[in-house]
């Protein structure tokens, strides 16, 4: 039997490993939720009361951490971890690459007399010093001052990771240079959350709220992914090296039947999902939904939302667990944005809101007062997105995303806001300065100072919008599936903080009045502020089909940005406007912004380069030889016409490979990073596409037993 077919047979075989069923879910003892987390319950039991209270104050109210606490916490944490079999600990952090980093240290240190003693004090808990020189810093850290340090983040709980042969304690940490610059993705996120907290509290005071002590942002990222059998994965050097297929003809059966979305979940996949969810539950990551996605072999997992910092850490954990557990089922979990051409790619829908301890600020609410406040915050979000479209676009840029954004199944690269008909009507009516007409009339009688009764979760959906209001939150749908949610949320929090402040100022001025003019009531002032602002920022609101050509034309007319590729988008990270807003809110200074832009550009170049070299190698050493053998076979069989046709194709293929190899040569790459990124986009990617074009044609001609790569029709459909 030819090689590929044989592996299909193996891939199709699967039997459950392990016992069936779980414990009795009505008994509290069988709940595994949070079992491997050093959370509040464990802390309460293990820490002296005063220390526990102080730690909670830091966690809940963001009060500065008393370093004196650290020793007691470290001791309790260590005992707890040792009881769970952890021999090592690590400061777990998120360098600028977007992945996570950990270096394990043993708890045990040698004692004289030849014994070992578990050591872990407050000093070790609070600060670690990894050899940071090999993490990208985008020029912040010269090699002579290569040290960086990690600092414990007490607001994200520590947890134990289990392995068949042991366990270790993970301590979420921030990562900074000795000069205090953020070298990671956590610090700016935390800074942006503080910024938003401050601005939102100021606004709440205007609405007469004198008690709320903090506002925090929440995220619930819906994660899309593919699962394929590992047999196929390891036969594809492109998947192994780059996470996506660089070759592959469209299968006869694609997703045109639309039979996969929300379809029943195949048994092996369901078994996998259940184990992923169980592992995540132990780690305190709450999972809410699972379902099939649109493409064959594509699925989605979504957690219950949490505060942005913990939610971001948990999202990283989620991706890690998803990939690890897959191997236990003979599967590989693909998180790439576009693993297969011609079928849907994978995104991460970032549900986002602002919340007090009691209420979601983007929930329209039941009373007119709540509605007013909601309209204020919703206006701020629209204003923020309008002012910083380019920056939002840049925050989700990356090589994988360039295959997805703007394609027919993903949000377009133009950032617009979808509000849903009812809410859009309300805004339009306010902007027009008139009581709303017809449909909206019952809901809002602004002219008579009776405040609008706003629609709640209308179920209105617009799948083509990159930034949609979904009833009580906004959903930033353009994130890539492999992406850390950190930067997009840092951007969102910061720009919304700025917009809230701008609106608050306008509101304050109108409510205060002048010597000649009496101040206005909150309702009147707000109506005016919304009218004035919405007239401009409403340009970013769009409820039509974001994929259509018509929208592209309209958007251009409205002056909206359409930054199609990563090199187009990334300069937005260092634009004057970005530097100003990030500086004003002390989230990232200019150097830190430049470093991020540089690292992201570098990553783009490196990723495309790896793809291009992998493509050239596969083409030259696997596909071309197969095609040549096939050609020889045709000639031997005397199939002259077919042989001639094939020979033409093979010769075009050979030429395309040569062109790609030349494009890949170091000496042909510009030295300036930005120019190199553009070169990758304009010269290398097209050369790669050309090679693929001929390869995919050949795939349909070359004898099945000669073609060396598993096909889409196998990878996507054999489960
Ligand atoms: P849909 O299919 O409607 O997009 P899902 O149920 O798949 O919705 O996912 C919705 C996500 O939105 C979940 O992760 C959920 O926790 C999250 N979410 C709900 N409310 C909020 C909120 N206030 N802030 C942030 N995320 C939220
Ligand atoms: Mg969903």
Mind listing the pLDDT tens digit for each residue in 185-211?
999 999 999 999 999 999 999 999 999
Residue 298 alpha carbon to ligand 2 centre in Å: 13
Q: Which residue has the higher pLDDT, 319 or 138?
A: 319
Residue 503 alpha carbon to ligand 1 centre in Å: 27
pLDDT at res. 103 = 83
Among residues 182, 209, 235, the one where a domain terminates is 182
User: Which CATH number goes with the domain that contains 653?
Assistant: 1.20.120.1560
Ligand index nearest the alpha carbon of residue 477: 1
The mean pLDDT value for 687-694 works out to 98
Q: What angle do CA 210, 212, 213 make, to 5 degrees?
A: 115
Most confident of 27-41, 367-381, 405-419, 497-511: 497-511
pLDDT band at 220 (very low <50, low <70, confident <90, very high): very high
Residue 14 lies in a domain: no
- CA dist list (Å): 353 to 196, 290, 307, 362, 609: 11, 22, 9, 6, 38
Kindly report the pTM of this predicted structure: 0.93
Other C-beta atoms within 10 Å of 415: how many? 26
pLDDT at res. 22 = 63
Q: Are 343 and 209 in contact (CB under 8 A)?
A: no
For atom 13 of ligand 1, which residue has the closest CA?
A: 220
Residue 620 lies in a domain: yes
The mean pLDDT value for 118-144 works out to 74
561 has a pLDDT exceeding 80: yes
Residues 45 and 137 in one domain: yes
For atom 2 of ligand 1, which residue has the closest CA?
A: 222
pLDDT at res. 293 = 86
Assign residue 606 a region (left: φ > 0; alpha: ψ between -120 and 50; beta: otherwise): alpha
Residues 239 and 110 in one domain: no
pLDDT at res. 422 = 81
Residue 694 lies in a domain: yes
User: Which CATH number goes with the domain that contains 427?
Assistant: 3.30.590.10
Other C-beta atoms within 10 Å of 15: how many? 6
pLDDT band at 111 (very low <50, low <70, confident <90, very high): confident
Residues 343 and 446 in one domain: yes
Residue 22 lies in a domain: no
pLDDT band at 77 (very low <50, low <70, confident <90, very high): very high
Residues 436 and 540 in one domain: yes
Q: In the structure encoding, which two tokens stand for residue 35, read together?
A: 């079992």
Ligand index nearest the alpha carbon of residue 293: 2
499 has a pLDDT exceeding 90: yes
pLDDT at res. 439 = 37
447 has a pLDDT exceeding 50: no
Instruction: Please name the residues in contact with 158: beta carbons below 8 A apart, sequence gap of 6 or more.
Output: 37, 38, 77, 81, 169, 170, 171, 172
Q: Which residue has the higher pLDDT, 180 or 475?
A: 475
Q: Max Cα separation, the chain?
A: 100
Mean pLDDT in the chain? 89
CA distance 292 to 662: 42
Residue 593 lies in a domain: no
pLDDT band at 143 (very low <50, low <70, confident <90, very high): very low
The mean pLDDT value for 634-652 works out to 97
pLDDT at res. 515 = 86
Residue 348 alpha carbon to ligand 2 centre in Å: 9
Residues 567 and 690 in one domain: no
Residues 611 and 584 in one domain: no
Residues 247 and 350 in one domain: yes
577-602, pLDDT tens digit by residue? 999 999 999 999 999 999 999 999 99
Helix (H) or strand (E) holding 632: helix 624-636
Helix (H, G, I), strand (E, B) or coil at 713: helix
CA distance 583 to 573: 12
Residue 349 alpha carbon to ligand 1 centre in Å: 9
The mean pLDDT value for 105-116 works out to 78
Range of the domain at 503: 194-588
Residue 4 lies in a domain: no
The distance from CA 262 to its chain's CA centroid, rounded to whole angstroms, is 22
CA distance 101 to 172: 10
Ligand index nearest the alpha carbon of residue 314: 1
Burial class (CB in 10 A: 0-12, 13-18, 19+), 583: middle
The mean pLDDT value for 276-292 works out to 93
Residues 608 and 477 in one domain: no
Nearest atom in ligand 1 to the alpha carbon of residue 291 is 7
- Which residues have CB under 6 Å of ligand 1? 218-220, 222, 288-289, 302-305, 349, 351-353, 360, 472-473
Residues 566 and 706 in one domain: no
Residues 254 and 204 in one domain: yes
Q: Which residue has the higher pLDDT, 169 or 462?
A: 169
The mean pLDDT value for 475-495 works out to 97
Residue 418 lies in a domain: yes
The mean pLDDT value for 282-298 works out to 91
394-405, pLDDT tens digit by residue? 999 999 999 998
Percent of the chain, pLDDT > 90?
Answer: 67
438 has a pLDDT exceeding 50: no
Q: Are 399 and 603 in contact (CB under 8 A)?
A: yes
How far from each other are the two terminal CA atoms of the chain, in whole angstroms?
20
456 has a pLDDT exceeding 60: no
Among residues 145, 160, 182, the one where a domain terminates is 182
CA distance 688 to 711: 19
Q: In the structure encoding, which two tokens stand for residue 419, read together?
A: 């509000």
Q: Are 84 and 170 in contact (CB under 8 A)?
A: no
Q: Are strands 86-92 and 166-177 parallel, antiparallel or unpaired?
A: parallel
Residue 473 alpha carbon to ligand 2 centre in Å: 13
Residue 3 lies in a domain: no
pLDDT at res. 165 = 92
2 has a pLDDT exceeding 80: no
pLDDT at res. 375 = 93
Residues 283 and 385 in one domain: yes
pLDDT at res. 192 = 97
CA distance 293 to 301: 10
Residues 149 and 235 in one domain: no
547 has a pLDDT exceeding 90: no
Q: Which of 155, 273, 218 is nearest to 485 (CA)?
A: 218
User: Which CATH number goes with the domain that contains 169?
Assistant: 3.10.20.70
pLDDT band at 436 (very low <50, low <70, confident <90, very high): very low
440 has a pLDDT exceeding 60: no
243 has a pLDDT exceeding 80: yes
Among residues 559, 588, 617, the one where a domain terminates is 588
The number of distinct structural domains making up the chain is: 3
């Amino acid at each position: 039997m030819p090689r590929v077919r044989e592996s299909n047979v193996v891939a199709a075989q699967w039997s459950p490993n392990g016992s069936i069923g779980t414990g009795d879910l009505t008994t509290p003892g069988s709940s595994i939720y949070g079992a491997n987390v050093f959370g509040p319950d464990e802390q309460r039991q293990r820490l002296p009361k005063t220390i526990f209270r102080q730690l909670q104050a830091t966690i809940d109210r963001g009060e500065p951490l008393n370093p004196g606490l650290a020793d007691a916490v470290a001791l309790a944490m260590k005992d707890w971890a040792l009881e769970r079999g952890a021999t090592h600990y690590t400061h777990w952090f998120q360098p600028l690459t977007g992945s996570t980093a950990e270096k394990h240290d043993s708890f045990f240190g040698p004692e004289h007399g030849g014994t070992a003693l578990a050591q872990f004090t407050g000093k070790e808990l609070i600060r670690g010093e990894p050899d940071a020189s090999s993490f990208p810093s985008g020029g912040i850290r010269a090699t002579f001052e290569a040290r960086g340090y990690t600092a414990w983040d007490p607001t994200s709980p520590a947890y134990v990771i289990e392995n068949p042969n042991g366990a270790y304690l993970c301590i979420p940490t921030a990562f900074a240079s000795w000069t205090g610059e953020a070298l990671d993705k956590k610090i700016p996120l935390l800074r942006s959350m503080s910024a938003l907290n401050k601005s939102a509290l100021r606004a709440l005071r205007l609405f007469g709220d004198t008690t709320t002590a903090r506002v925090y942002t929440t995220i619930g990222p819906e994660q899309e992914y593919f699962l394929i059998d590992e047999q196929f994965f390891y036969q594809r050097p492109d998947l192994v090296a780059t996470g996506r297929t660089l070759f592959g003809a469209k299968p006869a059966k694609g997703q045109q039947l639309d039979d996969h979305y929300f379809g029943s979940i195949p048994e092996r996949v369901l078994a996998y999902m259940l184990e992923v969810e169980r592992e995540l539950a132990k780690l305190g990551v709450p999972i809410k939904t699972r379902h099939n996605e649109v493409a064959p072999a594509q699925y989605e997992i979504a957690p219950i939302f949490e505060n942005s910092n913990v939610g971001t850490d948990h999202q990283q954990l989620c991706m890690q667990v998803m990939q690890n557990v897959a191997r236990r089922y003979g599967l590989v979990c693909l998180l790439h944005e576009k693993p297969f051409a011609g079928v849907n790619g994978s995104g991460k829908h970032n549900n986002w809101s602002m919340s007090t301890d009691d209420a979601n600020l983007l929930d329209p609410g039941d009373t007119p007062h709540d509605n007013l406040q909601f309209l204020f915050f919703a206006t701020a979000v629209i204003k923020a997105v309008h002012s910083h479209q380019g920056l939002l676009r840049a925050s989700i840029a990356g090589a994988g995303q360039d295959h997805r954004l703007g394609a027919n199944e993903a949000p377009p690269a133009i950032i617009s806001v979808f509000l849903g008909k009812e809410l859009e009507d309300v805004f339009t009516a306010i902007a027009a300065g008139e009581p709303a007409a017809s449909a909206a009339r019952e809901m809002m009688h602004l002219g008579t100072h009776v405040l609008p009764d706003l629609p709640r979760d209308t179920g209105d959906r617009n799948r083509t919008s990159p930034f949609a209001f979904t009833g009580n939150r906004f959903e930033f749908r353009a994130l890539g599936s492999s992406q850390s949610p950190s930067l997009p949320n840092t951007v969102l929090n910061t720009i919304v903080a700025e917009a809230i402040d701008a609106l608050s100022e306008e509101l304050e001025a109108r409510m205060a009045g002048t010597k000649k003019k009496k101040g206005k009531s909150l309702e009147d002032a707000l109506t005016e502020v919304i009218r004035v602002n919405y007239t401009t920022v409403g340009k970013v609101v769009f409820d039509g089909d974001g994929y259509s050509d018509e929208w592209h034309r309209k958007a251009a007319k409205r002056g909206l940005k359409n930054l199609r590729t990563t090199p187009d988008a990334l300069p937005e990270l260092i634009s004057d406007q970005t530097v100003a807003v990030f500086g004003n809110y002390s989230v990232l200074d200019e150097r830190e912004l430049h470093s991020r832009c540089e690292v992201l550009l570098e990553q783009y170049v490196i990723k495309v380069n790896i793809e291009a070299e992998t493509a050239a190698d596969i083409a030259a050493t696997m596909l071309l030889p197969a095609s040549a053998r096939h050609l020889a076979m045709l000639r031997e069989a005397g199939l002259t016409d077919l042989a001639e046709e094939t020979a033409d194709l093979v010769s075009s293929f050979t030429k395309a490979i040569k062109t790609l190899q030349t494009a890949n040569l170091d000496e042909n790459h510009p030295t300036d990073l930005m120019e190199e990124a553009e070169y990758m986009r304009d010269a290398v990617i097209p050369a790669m596409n050309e090679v693929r074009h001929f390869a995919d044609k050949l795939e349909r001609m070359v004898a099945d037993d000669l073609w060396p790569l598993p096909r889409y029709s196998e990878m996507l459909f054999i489960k």
